[in-house]
Structure 1
Amino acid sequence: MRPTPRAARPRSLIVFLLTALSATLATACAAGGDRPRVVVTTNILGDVTRQIVGEEAEVSVLMQPGADPHSFGLSAVQAAELERADLVVFNGLGLEENVLRHVDAARAAGVTTFGVGDAVDPMTFRAPDDGGPGDEAGQPDPHFWTDPDRVRAATGLIAAQVIEHVDGVDAAAVRANTARYDRQLADLTAWMETSFERIPEDRRALVTNHHVFGYLADRFGFRVIGAVVPSGTTLASPSS
Structure 2
Amino acid sequence: MMPRAFCLMALVTLVAGCATRSGKDDRDKPLVVASFSVLADLAKRVGGDEIEVVAIVGPDSDAHTHNPTPADVRRMAEADIVLELGAGFESGWLDRLCVSSGTRARRIVASDGIALIRGDGRGQSDEPDPHVWHDPTNAAGMAEVIGKALSDSFPWQLEKIGANSKRVKVELEALDEWIKVQISSIPPERRKIVTSHDTFGYFGRRYGIRVAGTVLPSFSTEYGEPSAAEFSRLAAAIRAEGVPAIFADTTGNPALAGRLAEESGVLLGPPLYTDSLGPPGSPGATYDSMMRHNTRCIVEALSR
The residue number in structure 1 matching 2:44 is: 50
Q: Structure 1 residue 110 and structure 2 residue 131: aligned? A: no
User: Is it true that 1:150 corresponds to 2:155 in the alignment?
Assistant: no
**TM-score (norm: length of structure 2):** 0.63
Q: Offset at 1:212?
A: 0.4
| Equivalent residue letter for 2:113 | A
Q: Secondary structure at the match of 1:114?
A: strand
In structure 2, what residue type is equivalent to 1:62?
A: I
Amino acid at match of 1:96: E
TM-superposed deviation, 1:31: 7.7
Provide the alpha-carbon RMSD of the alignment: 2.2
Match among 173, 180, 186 for residue 173 of structure 2: 186
- TM-score when scaled to structure 1? 0.78
Q: State the match for 2:86 in structure 1.
A: 92
Instruction: Give 1:100 deviation, angstroms.
Output: 2.2
Deviates more, 1:168-177 or 1:137-146: 168-177
**Does the 8 Å contact 1:56/1:174 carry over to 2?**
no
For 1:210 and 1:169, the matched residues in 2 are separated by 43
Compute the displacement of 1:121 (Å).
Answer: 2.4
1:82 to 76, 79, 104: 76
More strand by share: 2
Larger Rg: 1
> What is the alpha-carbon distance in structure 2 between the residues aligned to residue 119 and residue 108 of structure 1?
28
Residue number in structure 1 paired with 2:223: 236
The whole-number CA distance in structure 2 between the counterparts of 1:116 and 1:40 is 10
Amino acid at match of 1:202: E
Listed one character per residue, the Cα deviations across residues 15-46 of structure 1 (whole Å, up to 9, x for unaligned) are xxxxxxxxxxxxxx998524211111100111
Aligned 8 A contact 1:51 1:177 in 2: yes
2:187 partner amino acid? P
- 8 Å Cα contact 2:197/2:220 also seen in 1: yes
> How far, CA to CA, are the matches of 1:72 and 1:52 in structure 2?
26
The residue number in structure 1 matching 2:120 is 126
Q: Measure, in 1, the Cα distance between the counterparts of 2:69 and 2:97.
A: 13
In the alignment, structure 1 residue 205 sits paired with structure 2 residue 186: no
3-state SS in 2 of match to 1:117: coil
Aligned residues with identical type, % of pairs: 27
How many angstroms does 1:84 deviate by?
2.3
Superposition map of 1:222-233 within 5 A: 222-233=209-220
Distance (Å, rounded) in 2 between the aligned partners of 1:213 and 1:30:
39
Once residues 67 and 101 of structure 2 are traced to their aligned partners in structure 1, the CA distance between those partners, rounded to angstroms, is: 18
Specify whether residues 30 and 105 from structure 1 end up closer, same or farther in structure 2 by C-alpha distance, changes over 3 A only.
closer
Q: Where do 5+ consecutive residues of structure 2 fail to align?
A: 1-22, 229-304
Report if the CA contact (8 A) 1:42-1:63 is conserved.
Answer: yes
Q: Which residue does the alignment assign to 1:23? A: none
**Pair 1:47–1:39, CA change in 2 (3 A):** same
Cα offset for 1:209? 0.4
| DSSP-derived class of the 2:143 partner | helix
Moved more, 40-49 or 104-113: 104-113
Seen in structure 2, the aligned counterparts of structure 1 residues 60 and 236 have a Cα distance that, compared at 3 Å, is same
